[in-house]
Amino acid sequence: MKKTFFLIIGCIMASLSIISCENNITDLNNDPKHASVLPSGNLLATGQYQSFYYMYTGNVNFNNYRFFNQYWTETTYTDETNYDLVTRNQPRNHFNRMYVYSLNNFYQAMLNLPNEGITDTSVYNNKWATLEISSIFVWENIVDTFGDVPYSEALQSGQGQFAPKYDDAKGIYTSLLSRIDAAIAKINTSSAGYSEDLIYAGNMSKWKKLANSIKLRLAMNLADVDPATSKAAAESAIASGVLGSNSDSYSMIFSGGTFTNPVFDDLVASGRNDFVPAKGLVDFMNTNNDPRRAAWFTTVGGVYKGGIFGSLNPFGNYSHLSSTLLSSTAPANLLSYSEILFLEAEAAARGYNAGGTAATLYASAVTASMNENGIAAADTASYLAANPYNAANWKVSIGNQAWIALFNSPFAAWNFTRRLDSPALVNPPNSKTDGVPVRMPYSDQEYVLNGANVKAAANKIGGDKVTTKLFWDKF
């Protein structure tokens, strides 16, 4: 009351108009601590946190990428490692996290950005590019998880669009490549971006490298279905500048207080002992005397021992994840330097100009993974000597080593295992599906809320099954 009273007195004493007084009084309804229009930087940070957390999490209710790659297996409940994607509604949960909690934040930030009074064109363009690149990264995840998805009509509920059509996945790829080129063209590396940026703190040189790296990932997924586009896009991305060191990786570091690493939440904060590393992974690493075992796993009786995938595995009988991976402050790495080097090695193996030979880039990729995990140079050299690049069987050579190196970047690894068909993962005996998943089924909610469109999409791709291959997964 006092504030309103003195405001009225002030208006009278200043001989301001009645309208002016009314406007000022109306302003009292605005709560500066709870803004009705969120700043685009806040929306960026929220979208980043949501996308990182839910692409990286090992929670059985969400993406299940660690099970699709057969990295982890379960100890007490085996539904998820037998590919039951119905009981816990994982497709719905991941679909919603990516669209509603991630993309929608970036989309709203794009709408708010023009009204924030930014007068420096280069800063404005950098912020726009940051939001666009962040969006494209999530779009790639959605398309490469589900296949055909709502795209051109998505995020339009404010315009009355509640039943968006499903766009052709190949067409979405074409659009994403065009969008990422436009974003790269707007970046000014001499100017700042968002201070709220949780990944690169507004460093636009790193955002440019990330954009080119996403472009390279898209390009290599096209290699078997559209080799000409793949080659042109990959060579363009590499020439423009992709991630150049482990410090460039698209990685979120958690504070360990309010915000903790998702794997810490899954395996430590939950107070549950539900997961152990899977036997296939651990045996492969044992056979090759892989020095990363000590960085990732504990031992049982002096040996590294994995649980049988899809079966009951008493927690105390097997190796566990290391304290490093279980730290509340451990980074979540969604696009790593080692992934880029493996993509470049594959590009060279396919005859693209990748800036080096396949063998050299393969060795650099393995070395980057070893460095990322604190492995001594001598151990890295011994490993490479025992596991050299095999040009005659390059898909197996690159596929197997990328599968190991990207153990803690499970979505990225899933692209390699599907594209290169290596390693050959085996469907567990009690699986609920006809094969190891190569896509996630559509959200069950879509069949209720957007039935006609999702049914048309399911028919177009050959059936809404986990064994229906994506358009680029040809062999």
User: For residue 466, what pLDDT is reported?
Assistant: 98
Q: Once rounded to an integer, what is the mean pLDDT over residues 232-260?
A: 97
H/E element holding 46?
A: helix 40-56
pLDDT in tens, 436-466: 999 999 999 999 999 999 999 999 999 999 9
Residue 25, pLDDT score: 45
pLDDT at 11: 36
- pLDDT of 33 reads 60
For the chain, which domains are there?
40-251+326-429+438-461 (1.25.40.390)
Q: Is the pLDDT of residue 166 over 60?
A: yes
Rounded to 5 degrees, φ, ψ at 5 are -60, -50
Q: What average pLDDT does range 232-239 have in this prediction? A: 98
Residue 285 φ then ψ, to 5°: -70, -35
Give percent of the chain with pLDDT exceeding 70.
93
The strand pair at 72-74 and 166-167 is best described as: unpaired
Q: Which residues, at least 6 apart from 278, have a Cβ–Cβ distance to it below 8 Å? A: 70, 71, 72, 73, 306, 307, 308, 309
Q: What pLDDT sits at residue 158?
A: 79
32-41, 83-92, 312-321, 457-466: least confidently modelled range: 32-41
Is the model's pLDDT at 24 over the cut of 60? no
User: Residues near 435 by Cβ (< 8 Å), separated by ≥ 6?
Assistant: 427, 466, 467
Task: Read off the pLDDT band of 32 (50, 70, 90).
Answer: low
pLDDT at 224 over 50: yes
Report whether pLDDT(70) > 70: yes
User: In this predicted structure, what is the pLDDT of residue 35?
Assistant: 61
Q: Which residue has the higher pLDDT, 2 or 63?
A: 63
Q: Does pLDDT of 379 surpass 70?
A: yes
Which pTM value belongs to this model?
Answer: 0.93
Average pLDDT, the chain: 93
Give the CA distances from residue 118 to residues 132, 166, 190, 409, in Å, rounded to whole numbers and listed in that order: 17, 36, 17, 36
Question: pLDDT confidence of 157, banded at 50, 70, 90?
Answer: confident
User: Which band of pLDDT confidence, cut at 50, 70 and 90, is reported for residue 31?
Assistant: low
Q: How confident is the model at residue 29 (pLDDT cuts 50, 70, 90)?
A: low
**Nearest partner of 210 among 254, 240, 175, judged by Cα:** 240
Residue 343 has pLDDT above 80, yes or no: yes
What pLDDT is recorded for position 161?
A: 85
Summarize the confidence of residues 359-386 as an average pLDDT.
98
Helix, strand, or coil (residue 150): strand
The sign one gets for the Cα dihedral 85, 309, 282, 475 is: negative
pLDDT of residue 240: 98
Q: What is the pLDDT of residue 16?
A: 30
Contacts of 106 (CB under 8 A, 6+ apart): 43, 44, 47, 131, 134, 135, 138
Q: Is the pLDDT of residue 105 over 50?
A: yes
Q: How far is CA 327 from CA 55, 63, 262, 312, in A?
A: 18, 21, 10, 26
Contact present, 130 and 197 (Cβ < 8 Å): yes
Q: Report the candidate in 134, 114, 139 with the shortest Cα–Cα distance to residue 124.
A: 114
What are the pLDDT digits (tens) for 401-441? Answer: 999 999 999 999 999 999 999 999 999 999 999 999 999 99
- State both tokens at 211: 């954009």
